C-alpha cells in the first residue's frame, strides 16, 4: 500500500498510442461549463492578482482545480472535471495562474511548478465560502504544484482533506529534458511559442527583462534558465527544479493523495513513476495505468465523463 493496481482505463479504439491519447482531447473535445461561473479577481500579498471561475453549488464541499502549463480555467480537461463534481454536489473553483486569463498581471512574476503562494490564496477564498471540506485536483504542472503545497507547506489548511493529481512531472529537470526530445518537439514548440509571447509582453512593462536570449531559446530548460528562474528568485533552472520538484517532498504528505501517471505519457520520464518510494507510503496512492497519454484518459466521443474524472470522484468519495 498504496500502489493501485487498477488498469480499468481502456482508450477508444483509434487512439493507438500516447501521442494520440494526448492530442485528441486537446483539439476535439467540446464541453460546456456546468453552469455560468462567477469570475472573481483575487489580490495577492505582493499586490498582484489572478482570476478564478467559481461554480457555486451551495455545498459544504469545494473542489479546487489547478490547470497545466499554459492552460486556463476554460480548457476541456478543466471543464470536464468541473462538470462531474458540480453535478455531484460540489462547489467548483477553477483558477487561472497569473497571466493565464488572457491579461497581463501586475508584477514581474508569472507562475511556475512550485508557486504555492497563489494556491494558498485560492484555498483561503474557498474557506470564506463557509465550507467544511476542500479537495485539490491538479493536472501536469498543476499536479506538481498541488503536491508541492501538500508536502512543503508549513501549514496545510485544515479543511483540505484530499487531493488527486494527473500526469505529473514529479521530477521537473528530467521532465524538461523529456519534453524537449525529438519525439516531443510539437509539444515543446507549442509551449515555447506562448511562453515567449508572454515574455515579450512582460518586457514592455519590466525593462529589466532582457530579450537578447529569447530568439535563441529552443527548449524549456533554456527558457527556465533565462526567464522562469530569475523572474521568481531562483539562481538558475537547476535551482528551480531542485527546489520545486514534488518528487523530493512526497514523503511529507499527510492527507490522502492520488497520483495517476500513465505509462505511455510522452511527457514523463521513468523518474516520474516512483513505485519503490511510494509502495509503503501511508497517504500517497500511485496509479500507473498502461494507457492514458498526457492529461488524456479519453473514453467518450459524445460528451460523457472521461475516466480521469470518474476516478477523481471515486477517490474523494472513498477518502472524504
Dist. CA 245–CA 170, nearest whole Å: 6
Decide if pLDDT at 1 tops 70.
Answer: no
- Hey, what CATH topology would domain 3-169+245-319 get? Rossmann fold (3.40.50)
Dist. CA 213–CA 222, nearest whole Å: 9
Decide if pLDDT at 2 tops 90.
Answer: no
Could you tell me which residues come within 8 angstroms of residue 8 by beta carbon, excluding any fewer than 6 positions away?
289, 307
Convert the pLDDT of each residue in 239-292 to its tens digit: 999 999 999 999 999 999 999 999 999 999 999 999 999 999 999 999 999 999
Dist. CA 90–CA 313, nearest whole Å: 10
Decide if pLDDT at 74 tops 60.
Answer: yes
* Residue percentage of the chain with pLDDT more than 90: 92
Give me the half-sphere count of Cα atoms (radius 13 Å) on the Cβ side of residue 73: 26
Give the model's confidence band at 302: pLDDT under 50 very low, under 70 low, under 90 confident, else very high. Answer: confident
The structure's pTM equals 0.96
Grid cell, residue 190, equals 507549442
| Residue boundaries of the structural domains of the chain | 3-169+245-319, 172-244
Dist. CA 244–CA 222, nearest whole Å: 17
Sign of CA dihedral 14, 81, 318, 124: positive
Amino acid at each position: 500500500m498504496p500502489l493501485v493496481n487498477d488498469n480499468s482505463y481502456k482508450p477508444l479504439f483509434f487512439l493507438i498510442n500516447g501521442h494520440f491519447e494526448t492530442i485528441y482531447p486537446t483539439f476535439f473535445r467540446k464541453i460546456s461549463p456546468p453552469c455560468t461561473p462567477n469570475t472573481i479577481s483575487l489580490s495577492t500579498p505582493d499586490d498582484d492578482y489572478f482570476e478564478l471561475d467559481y461554480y457555486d453549488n451551495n455545498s459544504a464541499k469545494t473542489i479546487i482545480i489547478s490547470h497545466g502549463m499554459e492552460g486556463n480555467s476554460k480548457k476541456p480537461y478543466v471543464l470536464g472535471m468541473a462538470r462531474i463534481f458540480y453535478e455531484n454536489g460540489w462547489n467548483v473553483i477553477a483558477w487561472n495562474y497569473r497571466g493565464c486569463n488572457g491579461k497581463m498581471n501586475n508584477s514581474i512574476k508569472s507562475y511556475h511548478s512550485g508557486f504555492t503562494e497563489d494556491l494558498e490564496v485560492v484555498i483561503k477564498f474557498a474557506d470564506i465560502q463557509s465550507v467544511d471540506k476542500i479537495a485539490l485536483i491538479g493536472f501536469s504542472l498543476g499536479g506538481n504544484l498541488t503536491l508541492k503545497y501538500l508536502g512543503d507547506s508549513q501549514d496545510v489548511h485544515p479543511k483540505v482533506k484530499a487531493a488527486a493529481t494527473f500526469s505529473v512531472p514529479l521530477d521537473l529537470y528530467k521532465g524538461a529534458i523529456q519534453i524537449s526530445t525529438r519525439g516531443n518537439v510539437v509539444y515543446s514548440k507549442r509551449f515555447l511559442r506562448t511562453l515567449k509571447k508572454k515574455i515579450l509582453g512582460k518586457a514592455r512593462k519590466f525593462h529589466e527583462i532582457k530579450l537578447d536570449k529569447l530568439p535563441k531559446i529552443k527548449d524549456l530548460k533554456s527558457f527556465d534558465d533565462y526567464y522562469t528562474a530569475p523572474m521568481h528568485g531562483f539562481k538558475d533552472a537547476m535551482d528551480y527544479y531542485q527546489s520545486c520538484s514534488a518528487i523530493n517532498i512526497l514523503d511529507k504528505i499527510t492527507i490522502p493523495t492520488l497520483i495517476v501517471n500513465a505509462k505511455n505519457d510522452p511527457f514523463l520520464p521513468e523518474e516520474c513513476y516512483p513505485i519503490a518510494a511510494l509502495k509503503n507510503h501511508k497517504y500517497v496512492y500511485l496509479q500507473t495505468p498502461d494507457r492514458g497519454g498526457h492529461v488524456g484518459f479519453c473514453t467518450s466521443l459524445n460528451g460523457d465523463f472521461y475516466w480521469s474524472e470518474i476516478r477523481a470522484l471515486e477517490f474523494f468519495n472513498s477518502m472524504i
